[in-house]
Chains A and B, each alone.
Chain A
Amino acid sequence: MNKFRDTDMQAVIGWILRAGVLISMSVIFIGGAFYLYRHGHTHVDYSTFKGVPDFVHSPGGIINGIFTLRGRAIIQAGIVLLIATPVIRVVFSAIGFVLEKDYLYTGITLLVLLIILASMLSGHAG
């Protein structure tokens, strides 16, 4: 029987983190190029907090923005992927601990995921 060990998990986690950063940063870079091309000479002011434009604030707006090649929507999609990277790492750690039959750590890992989920939901409510 194939035994899944800590070293296997290290390899998988390392790979996920590297791939996640590479993919999301590439998306951010591409979005940045579109944004600078279309809005390079627009005047911007970040001195007062106004939140973000509507089209980068909702999943629907971001998806729609990607198809119409709006730079900031593409950047925001990249940022979402970047934020998801460590969370995906936690998901794979949970799977790894199940394969190792380490149920204590499967529980601990699921608890971390639950906290992140709660954070996501509480942010939405606020």
Chain B
Amino acid sequence: MSVIVLTLIILVGSYFAGLLGSLTGLGGGVVIIPLLTLLLGVDIHYAIGASLVSVIATSSGSAAAYVKEGITNIRLGMFLEIATTAGAMVGALVAVYIPTNFIAILFGVILILSAIMSLRKKAELINQQPSKLAEKLKLNSSYPTANGRVDYKIKNVGGGFFMMLFAGVISGLLGIGSGALKVLAMDGIMRIPFKVSTTTSNFMIGVTAAASAVVYLQRGYIDPGLSMPVAIGVLLGALSGSKILVHTTSSGWLRWVFALVVTFLASQMIYNGFTHKI
């Protein structure tokens, strides 16, 4: 395939990946890797490298907006970044020794988990139970709502930290933001309000991805010819997605469509992994 044709195909595909990723909150990376490997026959190492680059672009771009609105809990993000960056470093370092078909299967499994996560009902829980460790680490904070700023407290700091370590390893291994795992840790374990957990997770994704990207960059996983259309496409798609989100209130059916698409891609990744085609 010539450079211009491949670039255009990837640009269009990445645009839709970024658009859907932003509308559903799953991130563009989860669609980019199957698109590159299954559809275009790109080696999975290059796909992971290109996806990581796009993850940094979208998470930094949207984090900028959330941070200014004061929703992101910067201290919580900073503290948990110890776990995610350490995990990401380990993930990127061991990725070299793991057979590519195993990476494809693991990717499929995480993809299905993300799809299930995106369909969950999101109730805004506000925890008021105090925790000593959260107190000591100054993690309790407040966030803006329609009725003014609401205070919240954080629990299970240790459990959340451990889960973040795992999220970091997955992110470094697969080249995705693993936002679903981060939200699971903050929402499910630490009982952080949903709005805060999604924006803080997004805030952390850039740094986490950078910690593994510095390894991949030196290993030659990040190819400029491939990363260029992926990064531009996903970022533009994510920007359009955030514009649409402001104008529509319900995206229920869209979540279902995306979950189905993602599950299909995931099963393809798993199948190709087991048959050693990846």
Binding site for B on A (CB under 8 A): 6-7, 9-11, 13-15, 17-18, 20-21, 24-25, 28-29, 31-32, 35-36, 39-52, 56-57, 71-73, 75-76, 79-80, 82-87, 89-90, 93, 102, 104-105, 108-109, 111-112, 115-116, 118-120, 122-124, 126
Residues 48-66 of B contacting A (Cβ, < 8 Å)? 53, 56-57, 59-61, 63-65
- Knowing A25-B232, A72-B225, the reply to whether A51 touches B219 (Cβ < 8 A) is yes
Contact pattern, B 20-46, Cβ under 8 Å of A = 1, otherwise 0: 000000000000000000001111011
Candidates A31, A40, A116, A126; contact of B85 at CB < 8 Å: A116
Number of interface residues of B (CB under 8 A): 65
Provide 29 A-B residue pairs closer than 8 Å at the C-beta atoms, listed in order of the A residue: A10-B68, A10-B74, A14-B67, A15-B64, A17-B60, A17-B206, A18-B64, A28-B232, A35-B3, A39-B3, A41-B3, A42-B3, A43-B2, A47-B43, A49-B46, A51-B219, A72-B224, A75-B224, A75-B227, A76-B224, A83-B214, A104-B137, A109-B78, A115-B211, A116-B85, A119-B85, A120-B214, A123-B92, A126-B219
| Cβ-based interface call for B86 (8 A) | yes
Contact of B215 with A52 in the complex, beta carbons under 8 Å? no
With a cutoff of 8 Å between Cβ atoms, the chain A residues found around residue B96 in the complex are 126
Binding site for A on B (CB under 8 A): 1-4, 6-7, 40-43, 45-46, 53, 56-57, 59-61, 63-65, 67-68, 70, 72, 74-75, 78-79, 81-82, 85-86, 88-89, 92-93, 96, 137-138, 206-207, 209-220, 222-229, 231-232, 235
| Closest beta carbon of chain B to A2's beta carbon, Å | 20
Contact of B207 with A112 in the complex, beta carbons under 8 Å? yes
- Knowing A36-B3, A75-B224, A82-B56, the reply to whether A123 touches B64 (Cβ < 8 A) is no
Could you tell me the distance between the alpha carbons of A124 and B217 in the complex, rounded to whole angstroms?
A: 9
| Closest beta carbon of chain B to A37's beta carbon, Å | 10
With a cutoff of 8 Å between Cβ atoms, the chain B residues found around residue A73 in the complex are 224
Task: Identify whether the interface residues of A are mostly helix, strand, loop, or mixed.
Answer: helix
Contact of A87 with B228 in the complex, beta carbons under 8 Å? no
Could you tell me the distance between the alpha carbons of A9 and B57 in the complex, rounded to whole angstroms?
A: 21
Candidates A24, A43, A115; contact of B89 at CB < 8 Å: A115
Contact of A56 with B231 in the complex, beta carbons under 8 Å? no
Candidates A35, A41, A87, A108; contact of B82 at CB < 8 Å: A108
- Knowing A46-B226, A75-B227, A120-B214, the reply to whether A52 touches B79 (Cβ < 8 A) is no
